[in-house]
Amino acid sequence: MNLAGTQRDPQEFDMPLHACKVALAALVLPLTVACMIDYYTESPSARERATQIEIEARRGWTDTGMDLQPGDEVITAYISGEWSPWPGGHFDALGSGGDPRCDCNVLAGVSHAALIGRVGDADPFLVGARFDQPVGQGGRLWLGINDTRLDDNGGALIVRIELR
């Protein structure tokens, strides 16, 4: 019954309801397909916006698996762990201090055993406890210890990497 007290045929409601379903499907389906295409055509690193990784002191460079584009903002933060460039030491991402001019450093002028990074084959840069800035060139992000004599190193750091 309607407000006037007369009874309506139930089939009168089927047509508008069917039209609404068709209109909704016509709107939702293209948006869903567009989102799927955008998702699958992005590079894997663009979909993977943050990760945690272990950086071992015995390895020269650790591949983070993250490909950067020029202008990507990279935020790298030390989470936990200790490493050492020699037996018995215990240092975080800031390194041991020591002589920053030592020929045992990958990156001169920076604390020995500090966490360092590089993009592709470019020159290394200090990461330390936190790095937060855009990169100037594209390529794979690598992280490692500021040390050239790796055979007596020990330990590892856990680092969080985020791209914006």
Report how far apart the first and last C-alpha atoms of the chain are (Å, whole number): 58
The pLDDT of 128-141, averaged and rounded, is 96
Q: In what order do the strands lie in the sheet with 115-119?
A: 62-68, 139-145, 115-119, 125-126
Identify the three-state secondary structure at position 161: strand
Taking only the tens place, the pLDDT of each residue in 115-133 is: 999 999 999 999 999 999 9
Model confidence at 47: pLDDT above 90? no
Write the Ramachandran bin of 34: left for phi over 0, alpha for psi from -120 to 50, otherwise beta: alpha
Contact 146, 112 (CB under 8 A): yes
Domain ranges of the chain: 1-41, 49-163
* Fold of the domain built from segment(s) 49-163: Jelly Rolls (2.60.120)
Q: Identify the band that residue 101 occupies on the pLDDT scale cut at 50, 70 and 90.
A: confident
The mean predicted confidence, pLDDT, of the chain is 83
